[in-house]
Chains A and B, each alone.
Chain A
Amino acid sequence: MGRYSLMMGSEALVRGAIYAGIRFYAGYPITPATEIAEYMAQLLPRAGGIFVQTEDELAAINMAIGASVAGWKAMVATSGPGFSLMQEGVGHAINTEVPLLIVDVQRGGPSTGQPTMPSQQDVMQARYGSHGSYEIIVLSPGNVQELFYLTIDAINLSEQYRTPVILLTEEVTVHLWEKIHVPDPEEYPVLPHVTPPTHGDEGFLLESQLHDERGYNVANDPELSAKALWRLIGKIRDNVDKISRIEVKYAGDNPEIFIASYGCSARSALAAVKMLRQDGHKVGFLRLITLWPFPENAIKSVLRNANTIIVPEMNSGYMANEFRLLGLNVVPIPKLGGEIPTPEEIYSAVKGVLP
Chain B
Amino acid sequence: MNPLIQKYLRSEYAQGKRRTIFCPGCGNGIILGYFVRAIDELKHEGRFDDSKLYIVTGIGCSGNIPVPLKYNIVRALHGRALAVATGIKLVRPDAEVVAFVGDGDLLSIGGNHFIHTIRRNAGVKVILVNNMLYGMTGGQVAPTTPMDAITHTTPYGNPEPPIDACRLAMALGATYVARWTVALSRQCIESIKELLLHRGFGLLECLSQCPVYQGRYVIGIDRPSKIMDYHLKITVLGKEPMYGDKITIGKFVDYEKPTYEEIIWSMINRVSKGGES
Residue interface mask A233-246, B partner, CB < 8 A = 1: 00000000000000
Assess the A66–B88 pair: CB atoms within 8 A.
Answer: yes
A62 to B67, CA, bound (A): 20
Assess the B91–A72 pair: CB atoms within 8 A.
Answer: yes
Query: B70 touches which one: A49, A96, A203 (CB < 8 A)?
Result: A203
Find chain B residues with CB under 8 A from A63 CB: 83-84, 86-87, 90
Find chain B residues with CB under 8 A from A49 CB: 268
| Given A19-B276, A55-B116, A64-B87; A50-B73 close (CB under 8 Å) | no
CB proximity of B101 to chain A, nearest CB, Å: 13
A59 to B268, CA, bound (A): 22
A56 at the interface (CB under 8 A from B): yes
Query: B113 touches which one: A46, A59, A64 (CB < 8 A)?
Result: A59
Assess the B276–A208 pair: CB atoms within 8 A.
Answer: no
Interface size on B, residues (CB 8 A): 43
Find chain A residues with CB under 8 A from B273 CB: 46
Assess the B75–A50 pair: CB atoms within 8 A.
Answer: no
CB proximity of A16 to chain B, nearest CB, Å: 11
Assess the A59–B116 pair: CB atoms within 8 A.
Answer: yes
A89 to B80, CA, bound (A): 10
B253 at the interface (CB under 8 A from A): no
A204 at the interface (CB under 8 A from B): yes
CB proximity of B22 to chain A, nearest CB, Å: 14
Residues in B106-144 with C-beta less than 8 Å from chain A: 112-113, 115-116
Assess the A70–B54 pair: CB atoms within 8 A.
Answer: yes
Interface stretch, picked from B10-18, B39-47, B162-170, is: B10-18
Chain A contact-residue range equals: 35 or more
Q: How many contacts A-B (CB < 8 Å)?
A: 137
Find chain A residues with CB under 8 A from B276 CB: 15, 18-19, 43, 46-47, 185
Assess the B84–A66 pair: CB atoms within 8 A.
Answer: yes
Assess the A65–B84 pair: CB atoms within 8 A.
Answer: yes
A178 at the interface (CB under 8 A from B): no
Name, among A45, A64, A198, A216, the residue most crowded by chain B CB atoms within 10 Å (CB to CB).
A45
B277 at the interface (CB under 8 A from A): yes
A144 at the interface (CB under 8 A from B): no
Write the chain B residue with the least CB distance to A43: B277
Residue interface mask B66-98, A partner, CB < 8 A = 1: 010011111111011001111110111001000
B154 at the interface (CB under 8 A from A): no
Assess the B115–A205 pair: CB atoms within 8 A.
Answer: no
| Given A55-B113, A62-B80, A62-B84; A47-B54 close (CB under 8 Å) | no
Find chain A residues with CB under 8 A from B74 CB: 65-66, 69, 96, 206
Find chain A residues with CB under 8 A from B225 CB: none
Given A48-B272, A55-B113, 15 other A-B residues pairs in contact with their CB atoms under 8 A: A50-B90, A59-B113, A65-B74, A65-B84, A66-B84, A66-B86, A66-B88, A69-B87, A70-B54, A70-B95, A202-B11, A203-B70, A203-B72, A204-B72, A205-B10
Residues of B within 8 A of A (CB): 10-12, 18, 53-54, 56, 59, 67, 70-77, 79-80, 83-88, 90-92, 95, 112-113, 115-116, 264, 267-268, 271-277
Q: Which 8 A-B pairs have the closest CB atoms?
A: A66-B87, A203-B72, A62-B83, A66-B84, A63-B87, A67-B87, A70-B91, A62-B80
| 14 A-B pairs with C-beta separation under 8 A | A24-B91, A43-B277, A50-B264, A58-B80, A58-B113, A62-B76, A65-B76, A65-B84, A69-B87, A70-B87, A70-B92, A206-B74, A208-B75, A215-B73
